[in-house]
Amino acid sequence: MPQQKSGWRWFLSYAQSVLAGLIGIQSNEKREQDLNEGGLERLIYIGLGTLVVFVLIVVTAVNSALPD
């Protein structure tokens, strides 16, 4: 398995990839680094992370739109 960065820096790079996933733009180096380190598995986890963040955004939008 590729060398595991220290917990905090791994999370930071993962969070950055998730945000990039949301807007669909990411620098090529970061993407190559994601791919070489974890391969497709990592991309799937990033995708799931993006999905969770996306659902939270939509749920907050719904709650703000609801009449109380």
Partner 1 sequence: MFSRTWQRLSSVVLSLVSAPAAMADWELNMPQGVTEVSQSIYDLHMLIFWICVWIGVVVFGVMFYSIFTHRKSKGAKASQFHESVGLELLWTAVPTAILIAMAVPATTTLVEMYDTTDTDIDIKITGHQWKWQYDYLGEDVGFFSNLTTSQDEIYDRTAKGENYLLEVDKHVVVPTGKKIRFLITSNDVIHAWWVPEIAVKKDAIPGYINESWVIVPEGQEGLYRGQCAELCGVDHGFMPIVLEAVTPAEYEVWLVDQRAAAEAEAAAALGDFSHEELMTKGAEVYARSCAACHGVEGAGMGNVFPALVGSPIATGDMAAHIDIVINGKSGTAMQAFAAQLSEVDLAAVITYERNAWGNDTGDTVTPKMIIDAKQ
Partner 2 sequence: MTTATAHHDDHGHHGPAKGIMRWVLTTNHKDIGTMYLWFAFTMLFIGGAMALIIRTELFQPGMQLIEPEFFNQMTTMHGLIMVFGAIMPAFVGLANWMVPLMVGAPDMALPRMNNWSFWILPFAFGMLLFTLFTEAGAPNFGWTFYAPLSTTYAPSSVTFFIFGVHMMGISSIMGAINIIATILNLRAPGMTLMKMPLFVWTWLITAYLLIAVMPVLAGVVTMMLMDIHFGTSFFDAAGGGDPVLFQHVFWFFGHPEVYIMILPAFGIVSQIIPTFARKPLFGYASMVYATSSIAFLSFIVWAHHMFTVGLPLQTELFFMYATMLIAIPTGVKVFNWVSTMFRGSMTFETPMLFALAFVVLFTIGGFSGLMLAIAPADFQYHDTYFVVAHFHYVLVPGALFGIIAGVYYWLPKWTGHYYDEKLGKFHFWMSFIGVNVTFFPMHFIGLAGMPRRIPDYALQFADFNAIASVGAFIFGFSQLIFLYLLIKTIRGGEKATDEVWEGAEGLEWTIPSPAPYHTFAEAPEVK
Binding site for partner 1 (CB under 8 A): 23-25, 61, 65-67
- Are residues 34 and 42 in contact, defined by beta-carbon separation less than 8 angstroms? yes
Applying CB under 8 A, which of residues 1, 6, 62, 68 lies at the interface with partner 2? Answer: 62
Site for partner 2 in 2-61 (CB under 8 A): 21, 24-26, 28, 31-32, 35-36, 39-40, 43-44, 47-48, 50-51, 54-55, 58-59, 61
Closest CA to 2 of 49, 37, 41, 40: 37
Task: Find all residues with CB under 8 Å of 68, minimum gap 6, and list them.
Answer: none
Which residues of this protein are in contact with partner 2, per CB under 8 A? 21, 24-26, 28, 31-32, 35-36, 39-40, 43-44, 47-48, 50-51, 54-55, 58-59, 61-63, 65-66
